[in-house]
Amino acid sequence: MRLLVTGGAGFIGANFILYWALNHPHDEIRNMDKLTYAGNLENLASLPPLAKHTFIHADITDSTAVHKAIAGVDVVVHFAAESHVDRSISEPSPFVLTNVVGTHVLLEACVKHKVKRFHHVSTDEVFGSLELNDPRTFNEKTIYNPRSPYAASKAGSDHLVRAYAVTYGLPITITNCSNNFGPYQFPEKLIPLAITNILEGRKVPVYGDGRYVRDWLYVEDHVRAIEMVLEKGKEGETYCVGGLTQDINNLAVIKKILAILGKGEDLTEFVKDRPGHDRRYSMDWTKINKELGWKPQHTFDEWLAKTIEWYREHKEWWTRVKSGAYKDYYEKQYG
């Protein structure tokens, strides 16, 4: 099989390629990535030397490059996106361009080249926000209610994907997943930011009252979910993927990290809240569990400990990532 992976130099895309190359060594992987601040070819350095991986340095909004890359491809797995909510608040335009226009360019090319499957990687943020005491959770039937420019751009891309399935008969699947964590995550997101700050002896910035709730999904569990959807998922269907069954708020997550690293709560710092901050996400992943047999392989605590170990062992990787332009971003975001 020949796959086109978009955004394969980013966090989840790179984890997907590393997993796929190991478990499907006969497949050919084309990896199209623009290498924005979040794209890093070092994430793929551990690919086996014989891996059938070709890197294409291109922007998914570039129709000519996309058509060339898709010709002859069986399956497209679409990760490429602007992915950070805070950046979407300070500068929304790249989100609309990459997430909406870029997805549309890919869809057009998929129809023209008759790809057998377009798999779209989306987010639970399209569903909006739940209150802390709300008994409801997000599932495949939840009405869309995006509340940040990032979430709105991802919702727009989801709608386009479904419209192309209905209108042009494009064989699609979608996964809406929760907050990923694990190796190679850019340290602008809460868990890698917290781990690396603590390892540097710096404080962890906690937005607002810290009682915001996310559903946490280990990246390898997510990658296996996508594999199952590609292999056994029903064409046209959406699957929600989450990692937890019980709420845990940001303060509790940070406290766990501090405890594992043997540090005290003096390394937390309450900072200005995110505008329009979604209070709570909660995922119901019954469908993918019942229909495809997927479930997380370990508990959150086990995966968190493994993740912390990875960041401890890969200081060089994150020290390089946290140098240069990252410093300007951090200064602007946290003052």
Contact set with ligand NAD (CB under 6 A): 6-7, 9-13, 32-36, 38-39, 59-61, 79-83, 98, 102, 121, 123, 154, 177, 179-180, 186
User: Minimal distance in Å, beta carbon 202 to ligand DAU?
Assistant: 11
Q: Residues 6 or more apart from 194 whose CB is under 8 A from it?
A: 204, 253, 254, 257
Residue 193's binding partner, choosing from ligand DAU, ligand NAD, none, with beta-carbon cut-off 5 to 8 A by kind?
ligand DAU
Nearest position to ligand DAU, beta carbon:
123
- Whether 209 is a known active-site residue: answer no
Pick the catalytic residue: 33, 59, 86, 124? 124
User: Minimal distance in Å, beta carbon 191 to ligand DAU?
Assistant: 7
User: Minimal distance in Å, beta carbon 206 to ligand DAU?
Assistant: 5
Pick the catalytic residue: 59, 86, 125, 215? 125
Residue 205's binding partner, choosing from ligand DAU, ligand NAD, none, with beta-carbon cut-off 5 to 8 A by kind?
ligand DAU
Q: Give the residue with the Cβ less far from ligand DAU, 193 or 244.
A: 193
- Whether 108 is a known active-site residue: answer no
Q: Give the residue with the Cβ less far from ligand NAD, 13 or 183.
A: 13
| Number of Cα atoms under 13 Å in the Cβ half of residue 94 | 16
User: Minimal distance in Å, beta carbon 190 to ligand NAD?
Assistant: 10
User: Minimal distance in Å, beta carbon 316 to ligand NAD?
Assistant: 19
Residue 220's binding partner, choosing from ligand DAU, ligand NAD, none, with beta-carbon cut-off 5 to 8 A by kind?
none
Q: Give the residue with the Cβ less far from ligand DAU, 17 or 194.
A: 194
Nearest position to ligand NAD, beta carbon:
10
Residue 212's binding partner, choosing from ligand NAD, ligand DAU, none, with beta-carbon cut-off 5 to 8 A by kind?
ligand DAU
Residue 239's binding partner, choosing from ligand DAU, ligand NAD, none, with beta-carbon cut-off 5 to 8 A by kind?
none
Q: Give the residue with the Cβ less far from ligand NAD, 7 or 233.
A: 7
CB-CB contact of 27 with 53 (8 Å): no
Neighbours of 209 (CB within 10 A): 12
Query: 27: which 2 tokens?
Result: 């497949």
The candidate with the shortest Cα–Cα distance to 5, out of 142, 163, 115, is: 115
Residue 39's binding partner, choosing from ligand NAD, ligand DAU, none, with beta-carbon cut-off 5 to 8 A by kind?
ligand NAD
- Whether 124 is a known active-site residue: answer yes
User: Minimal distance in Å, beta carbon 98 to ligand DAU?
Assistant: 12
Q: Give the residue with the Cβ less far from ligand DAU, 165 or 283.
A: 283
CB-CB contact of 198 with 256 (8 Å): no
Catalytically active residues, by annotation: 124-125, 150
